[in-house]
Amino acid sequence: MPSALFSPLQLRSLTIPHRGWVSPMCQYSCLPETGEGVPNDWHLMHLGSFAAGGAALIMTEAAAVNAAGRISPRDAGMYSEAQAAGWERMVDFIHRHGAVDCRIGAQLAHAGRKASTYWPFSGQSGSVPESDGGWQTVGPSTSPFDGYASPVAMSETEIIAVIQDFAAAAGRAVAAGFDVVEIHGAHGYLLHQFQSPLINTRTDNWGGDEAGRNRLMLEVVDAVRNAIPDSMPLLLRISASDWADGGVDVEASVRLARAAAERGVDLVDVSSGGAVAHQAIQAAPGYQAGFAERVKHDAGVPTGAVGLLTSPPQAEDIVANGRADAVFMARAALRDPHWWLRAAYELGHDIPWVPQYERAVPRHGF
């Protein structure tokens, strides 16, 4: 039987060679000596290894749409021409050196109240003070994430400016040659902060009821869709559940996904969690695939599944049974950057190898 995982997927005018994709993974490795938020040789090696390993679509780590939107001082950005030039180098490399006809997507983000934090391997935790290179964070209200500094509640002028920043970043991604753009609306970052009733306590037009809380997310979708070509696919990453009482649930996420699809989103990348520290996640292999399945069928939009998806048969089952249209790999890809070559072999499907590695094509076992 042909492999469903290794069948192509068409999104607008873009054909993606198969359904095994690389999830965005922050590297916290942009260094002052190579420029604020500018990707460097580490990112080239990191992303390039997946291209050589047979991935069909590689999403970048979250690229902040303005300086205040970075998760940490070492996060990548898409708010300057120097950053866009750094990303263009990655795009060109992946287009030239992928085992399959590899595609690359830019994830655009703003961390909101979860910005200005120490990177995970810094030896410190919590918010970075301004005296150590941090900055004042912003959010829908002054409520902080547990253990972080309090943000400033955004004015309407600031909200509109962020929408414009997303559009400008999308334009830079197009100029850099990216194949896909994804809006990061998950994991407790700014757009999710506005969406979640656990965080957004505003009473103006950017809060209140569900329509008000979804407004920023959907206006960013409109702005980005208008900033990129009609032929370019637009993805949206959401947290389908806050895993906390009174928070976003899958029913609300279905409604959001349906509205986003009507505005031009082509695939919803379905994750969960991140809004609050008291979430009660019930993690298990494939624990988020049910969310992707529910959004796909109830909202009528293609979805990608992510979260403890590690084995080729597991990924094949998700696509073959119509639970999601693609599978995003994260930690499994870090452990094995050639995961897709191995998966194709295990599923009895042939995909190309880069010529430099052809001597390693398995003949009698992987």
* CATH at residue 328: 3.20.20.70
Tell me which H or E stretch contains 86. Answer: helix 81-97
* Segment-wise mean pLDDT, segments of 10 residues, the chain, 366 residues: 95 98 98 95 98 98 98 98 98 97 98 98 96 97 97 98 98 98 98 98 97 98 98 98 97 98 98 95 92 98 96 97 97 97 96 96 86
In total, how many domains does the chain have? 1
Q: Around Cβ 244, how many Cβ atoms within 10 Å?
A: 18
Q: Tell me the backbone φ, ψ of residue 275, rounded to 5 degrees.
A: -75, -45
User: Which sequence positions are flagged as catalytic?
Assistant: 189
Q: What is the pTM of this model?
A: 0.97
- Domain assignment present for 2: no
Range of the domain at 66: 9-360
Q: How far apart are CA 140 and CA 155, in angstroms?
A: 9
The whole-number pLDDT of residue 7 equals 98
- Domain assignment present for 301: yes
- Domain assignment present for 365: no
- Domain assignment present for 366: no
The whole-number pLDDT of residue 154 equals 98
- Domain assignment present for 177: yes
The whole-number pLDDT of residue 363 equals 85
Concatenating the DSSP letter of every residue in 152-202 gives: EEPPHHHHHHHHHHHHHHHHHHHHTT-SEEEEEE-TTSHHHHHH-TTT---
Q: Please name which of 29, 57, 304, 303 lies closest in space to residue 178, comparing C-alpha atoms.
A: 57
- Domain assignment present for 3: no
Residue 176 contacts residue 91 (beta carbons within 8 Å): yes
Q: How far apart are CA 283 and CA 54, in angstroms?
A: 28
The whole-number pLDDT of residue 282 equals 85
Q: Can you say whether the dihedral through the CA atoms of 233, 29, 86, 338 is positive or negative?
A: negative
The neighbouring-strand residues paired with 261 are: none
- Domain assignment present for 284: yes
- Domain assignment present for 354: yes
The whole-number pLDDT of residue 364 equals 79
